[in-house]
């Protein structure tokens, strides 16, 4: 092994592997002598997981960094725009159309960080929900409008957005782009053994088809198999099942029958007694699935609940549906992500139920940190690895806090599954402390103070007040109240303007297919 880090192997050709290889190659690749040599090894027989179809707005920056066009994404991956998540039935178990509905939009509240929006909203004697008062985005989602004009350039937004797409098609597009445009070497081969240096570092991966492939740094994107970080190094998965019970998902795809029907631009997450369903609308199909806890629900009951949901939400009759694909997982994350000269990215690093679609965002953050802090030599690698472990341990813990919030605030009493989620023994300590403080004040940036927090205090505000959390916050003084009301007025004005000016989401997508988009 040379001391300088010149050769990187990415093991795995799922979304994590391709995104990581592309982000590294876009910054450090090339043909000159100093360029990083990046090889991606992918099994010819084990497919990528093929789910994971909702992203955060961060994906826009990622795609721009790797030079992939948004038009290509829309055309080749059956992609659409995502403006946030809609939560139905989470508070009382009633139908969403019966008022049990709230949004976690991607836009920050109007006046966030300047005005006392929460105090102003609580004392405004309004029946309008918090998100509806402070953001146009829930209204845009209700009207199935797109987040931009047909004349808005690629990646630019009128309202903040991420994507919904077909994960298998995204994998193919990323693969082609990363090989053809970014010069990553692609090896289709099964890794059969890991060869080590005397000091315990990985020296090479032995493959069935292409012999040994050596490198200085190995990025484990081998999915739940976690071939390097888990199987080779034995770094344990720290289970979080005591906090978030869900350990199974059923996934199904339903073709769209009406090609002109309104196209949702939020992920619809509906709570059930057995778990919750995701519903992701693409232009030609819906991806739906049910996430549940095997300790509370049998596979058969879960299949039946998913079929009922599909039928109720306008899909085919339950009897016409094939059985959904079952994916089992242990909710949790690794005790360490970077160990010696190996770093885990994607499912190999851990997985928790996809309630707020945070997995691909963690992939983007992981790959960006490896890219930005790429160690110059082996001695620096241990330091970078420690920094990486610290950053991601913090991020995983915050994601778990945030997901748990959706369960502890629920008032549903229709199943042990729901009641068990509220047992105080299952509440992470830090979240418990914050909930106590939030009885008397709103979440603000000192509660989530790191740069690149995965969920800012604004996200906590949307979920807390969307779920009916009622704090005892004193009325703001008159000048502060007036300031908050001015923000609500400005959000209402923006809502009116956008409702009149933005195209239907479906029309926007069809326009992009036919005419493309202006480039930036
Ligand atoms: C039900 C469900 C829903 C999800 N929804 C979302 C969502 O909405 N949003 C979101 O951000 N994320 C979501 N995720 C997570 C998301 O799917 C993953 O984070 C993402 O797909 C990355 O997966 P991966 O690349 O780590 O693993 P995989 O896709 O499993 O890829 C593993 C790769 O490793 C290779 N490999 C394995 N063993 C070997 C070997 N011995 N030799 C060579 N190659 C090997 C395989 O060939 C494959 O290419 C969801 C996950 C699940 C389970």
* Torsions phi, psi for 187 (to 5 deg): -125, 120
* 141 and 268 Cβ atoms separated by less than 8 Å: no
Cα 390 to Cα 515: distance, rounded to the nearest angstrom: 46
Burial class of residue 239, CB neighbours in 10 A (0-12, 13-18, 19+): middle
Contact status, residue 417 vs residue 248, Cβ threshold 8 Å: no
pLDDT for 234: 98
Dump pLDDT digits (tens) for 61-95: 999 999 999 999 999 999 999 999 999 999 999 98
Query: Is the pTM above the cut of 0.85?
Result: yes
Q: How far is the CA of 221 from the centre of ligand 1 (A)?
A: 8
Pocket residues for ligand 1 (CB within 6 Å)?
Answer: 11-17, 41-43, 46, 48-49, 51-55, 190-191, 221-223, 225, 227, 249, 251, 289, 327, 346-348, 354, 357, 359-360, 363
316-246-363 Cα angle (round to 5)? 90
Distance (Å, whole) CA 393 – CA 18: 23
Residue 165 to residue 61: CA distance in whole angstroms: 16
Output the CA 351–ligand 1 centroid distance in Å.
10
Q: What is the pLDDT of residue 2?
A: 53
pLDDT at site 302: 97
CA neighbours closer than 13 Å in the CB half-sphere of residue 192: 10
Q: Are 80 and 440 in contact (CB under 8 A)?
A: no
Q: Is 507 left (phi over 0), alpha (psi -120 to 50) or beta?
A: alpha
For ligand 1, the distance from its centroid to the CA atom of residue 15, given in whole angstroms, is 6
Instruction: For residue 42, give the DSSP letter.
Output: E
Ligand 1 atom with least separation from CA of 357: 9
Instruction: Quote the radius of gyration of the chain (alpha carbons, Å).
Output: 23
Q: Point out the ligand 1 atom lying closest to the alpha carbon of residue 222.
A: 34
**Ligand 1 geometric centre to CA of 16 (Å):** 7
pLDDT less than 70: residues of the chain? 1-2
**CA distances, 364 to each of 94, 358, 414, 489 (Å):** 36, 10, 38, 36
Q: Whose CA is nearest to atom 43 of ligand 1?
A: 43
Are the CB atoms for 40 and 416 separated by under 8 Å? no
* Length of the chain measured in residues: 520
Residue among 269, 290, 347, 356 whose CB has most ligand 1 atoms within 8 A, to mutate: 347
Q: What angle do CA 164, 286, 169 make, to 5 degrees?
A: 55
Q: Which of helix, strand or coil describes residue 239?
A: strand
3-state secondary structure at position 397: helix
pLDDT at 1: 47
CA of 514 to the centre of ligand 1 (A): 32
Ligand 1 centroid–CA 345 distance in Å is 10
Which amino acid residue places its CA nearest to atom 16 of ligand 1? 52
Ligand 1 centre distance from Cα of residue 18 (Å): 11
Question: What distance in angstroms lies between residue 91's CA and the mean position of ligand 1's atoms?
Answer: 31
């Amino acid at each position: 092994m040379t001391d300088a880090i010149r050769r990187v192997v990415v093991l795995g050709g799922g979304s994590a592997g391709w995104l990581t290889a592309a982000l590294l190659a876009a910054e450090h690749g090339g043909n000159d002598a100093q360029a990083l040599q990046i090889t991606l090894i992918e099994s010819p027989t084990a497919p990528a997981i093929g789910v994971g179809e909702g992203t955060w707005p961060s994906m826009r920056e990622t795609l721009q960094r790797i030079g992939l066009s948004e038009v290509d994404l829309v055309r080749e991956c059956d992609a659409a725009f995502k403006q946030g998540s809609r939560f139905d039935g989470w508070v009382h178990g009633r139908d969403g159309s019966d008022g049990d509905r709230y949004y976690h939009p991607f836009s920050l509240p109007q006046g966030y960080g300047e005005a006392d929006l929460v105090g102003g909203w609580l004392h405004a004697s309004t029946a309008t929900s918090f998100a509806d008062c402070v953001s146009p985005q829930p209204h845009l989602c209700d009207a199935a409008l797109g987040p931009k004009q047909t004349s808005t350039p690629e990646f630019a937004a009128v309202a903040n957005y991420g994507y919904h797409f077909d994960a298998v098609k995204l994998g193919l597009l990323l693969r082609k782009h990363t090989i053809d445009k970014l010069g990553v070497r692609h090896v289709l081969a099964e890794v059969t053994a890991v060869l080590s240096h005397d000091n315990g570092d990985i020296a090479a991966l032995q493959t069935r088809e292409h012999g040994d492939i050596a490198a200085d740094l190995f990025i484990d994107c081998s999915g739940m198999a976690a071939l390097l970080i888990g199987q080779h190094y034995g770094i344990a998965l720290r289970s979080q099942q005591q906090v978030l019970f869900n350990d199974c998902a059923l996934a199904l795809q339903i073709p769209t029958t009406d090609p002109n029907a309104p196209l949702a631009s939020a992920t619809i997450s509906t709570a059930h007694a057995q778990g919750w369903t995701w519903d992701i609308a693409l232009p030609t199909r819906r991806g739906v699935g049910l996430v549940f806890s095997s300790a509370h629900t049998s596979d058969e009951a879960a299949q039946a609940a998913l079929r009922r949901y599909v039928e109720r939400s306008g899909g085919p009759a339950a009897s016409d549906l094939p059985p959904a694909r079952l994916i089992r997982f242990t909710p949790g994350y690794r005790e360490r992500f970077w160990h010696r000269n190996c770093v885990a990215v994607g499912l190999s690093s851990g997985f928790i139920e996809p309630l707020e679609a945070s997995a691909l965002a963690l992939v983007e953050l992981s790959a960006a940190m490896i890219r930005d802090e790429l160690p110059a030599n082996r001695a620096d690698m241990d330091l970078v690895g420690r920094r990486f472990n610290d950053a991601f341990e913090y991020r995983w813990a915050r994601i778990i806090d945030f997901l748990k919030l959706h369960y502890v605030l629920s008032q549903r009493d229709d199943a042990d599954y729901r009641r068990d989620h509220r047992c105080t023994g299952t509440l992470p300590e830090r979240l418990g402390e914050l909930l106590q403080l939030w009885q008397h004040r709103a979440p603000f940036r000192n509660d989530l103070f790191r740069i690149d927090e995965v969920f800012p205090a604004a996200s906590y505000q949307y979920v807390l007040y969307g779920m009916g959390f009622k704090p005892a916050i004193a009325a703001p003084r008159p000048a502060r109240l007036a300031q908050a009301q001015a923000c609500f007025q400005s959000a209402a004005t923006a809502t009116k303007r956008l409702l009149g000016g933005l195209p239907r989401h479906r029309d926007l997508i069809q326009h992009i297919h036919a005419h493309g988009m202006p480039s930036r």
